[in-house]
Structure 1
Amino acid sequence: MSLVDGESALRGALRGAGHLLPGARPGIDGHGPEFEAVVDGLWRAYADRAPAGTPVMAFGPLIDAAQFTATDYPRSFPQLVGEVEVFRGGDPEHRALIGDVDAGRDWTGYFEPSGMTLVPATCQNVYPRYAGTLEAPTTVFCRSWCFRHEPSEDPVRMVAFRICEYVHLGTPDSAEAFRADWLELLLDLFRGLGLDVAADRANDPFFGRVGRMLAANQLQSGMKNEISVDLYPDRRTAISSSNAHRTHFADSFGIRLPDGGPAHTACAGFGIERVAIALLATHGMAVADWPGPVRRALRLGRETV
């Protein structure tokens, strides 16, 4: 059970303990050393579940804009997208830019698209790398910084955050087995860390009227299952998900099975900061006082028994 009674109380406790360092805008707080130690522990604890020989990949916050467009994310979630712009002008444009900066005027018109966007989900970095024919079903473990433009005063809803996940590419049966098996594995992982978690069908925040139909179909099909934690007294908070994509990404990036048919994909992961905050809300802001089994599972040094 959570030790906090609302968003404001949780945010204040995290900042007071030095776990979150206030940013100039909602959702871009920095992190203190104990918070990062918990983040590292979560990454390792999930990595330990990898089958032998699993490829491990780590990515930065950027993705090629053409590859990003191929995922269909701009069509489905334009409200969350972050596009990167850069300055390509010469000396005259630079002088004009400086003049506008010094005068306090808007200076962003001097910048233009870079051909890169901020990546909203770690798995999007994986699919382009498997274009072609799969020799056998493949599972990849990966993490990256991600961005979604949904600023909020809720400390668990960040604009910039990290996701670690397993991504599976294979047959219809292997992808569905992966989604179901790794949902149970995630529940077991979080329960072992003392979190009060539950799983249920869910849907993504698709945009607009068509998006409402897509969300209803996703919910009905069971393609997305979220794991939530009892964080606030008036609602549960999603911290993790296990998702089946069918052939969506295989069709976008030309990922084929040996028989020539499109591969099926699935992913299972969690927002690392969200889980770290859930642990702090559950076990207290003093990490040294956490239960010994939790500290051992996250390799947080000297255990408290």
Structure 2
Amino acid sequence: MAGLEYNFATADNKLQGKTFYHQAFYPGAGMNAAAASGNISYSTQYLKAGIDQSWIGSDYIAEAGYIRRTGFYELTPSVNYLFYPSGSKKIISHGPGASFNAIFDPDFSLTDRETQLSYNIGWQNKSQLSVSIEEQFVKLSRAFDPTNTGGEQLEAGEQFNWKSVRAGFTSDDRKLFNYSLNTSIGGYYSGNRWNVSGQMNYRVQPYGSIGMTMSYNNISLPEPYNSAKLILMGPTLDITFTDKIFLTTFVQYNNQIDNLNMNIRFQWRFAPVSDLFIVYRGNSYTENFANKNRGLVIKLSYWFN
């Protein structure tokens, strides 16, 4: 693997950009065993605009990192504008935004498209509200079950277009108790979907924090495809015993795959930038809690200085 990367910015940092080219080398590798990307953005107090472009060759192999797919070209422009009302005692800013994302196959035939028009409001207390209208287009490259429940699959090559509305609110995360809520409703492939998700967190200073995350998806598809009501939820617990010893626990319930996951991580920072991690991870069925798999990982890192 070899590559070039270039970053630039103007003196006032209003205009910034980055571009890179990576070439993979292996027996039989050609020009399609490469990846290239570039972005440029312009930002002021009021206006933010930018465009991202990516090309991943069909034969590209990432020796380090992860890529979702190969053999595509992606284009993503976006723009946002903010107003700052001088007479408001509660609202600090508000304004519209627009974004567009398109993905093309190696023959430059459109496979995915997403268009979003949004409006955002920010309050003096740092809480935020966002509402948006979205339009999506998908051309399936392979057979796909939208519920991932083992039902009848939509056929490769089928095309779908749908619209949805979305809203989200985030509270002031400086407070001991903070939360976020998101919801969307609209089309979904050949049917409809309603989603609601959120998380909340309470800090017990200086001892740690407790939290909860959840997501609910109600997917309704016409026969013979499966409809589903999918639930994902789990509590989190972070404990600070000292300024060097920490414990993090995460439990997650997933009815889509009938799974209960538990992840417990112990951390001891015995020296600067030097840590001992002991991590337990287990998965079990939700009805009888019978074990699916489990493991224990120990990691030691030390900074030589």
TM-score (norm 1): 0.23
Structure having the higher helix fraction is 1
TM-score (norm 2): 0.23
Structure having the higher strand fraction is 2
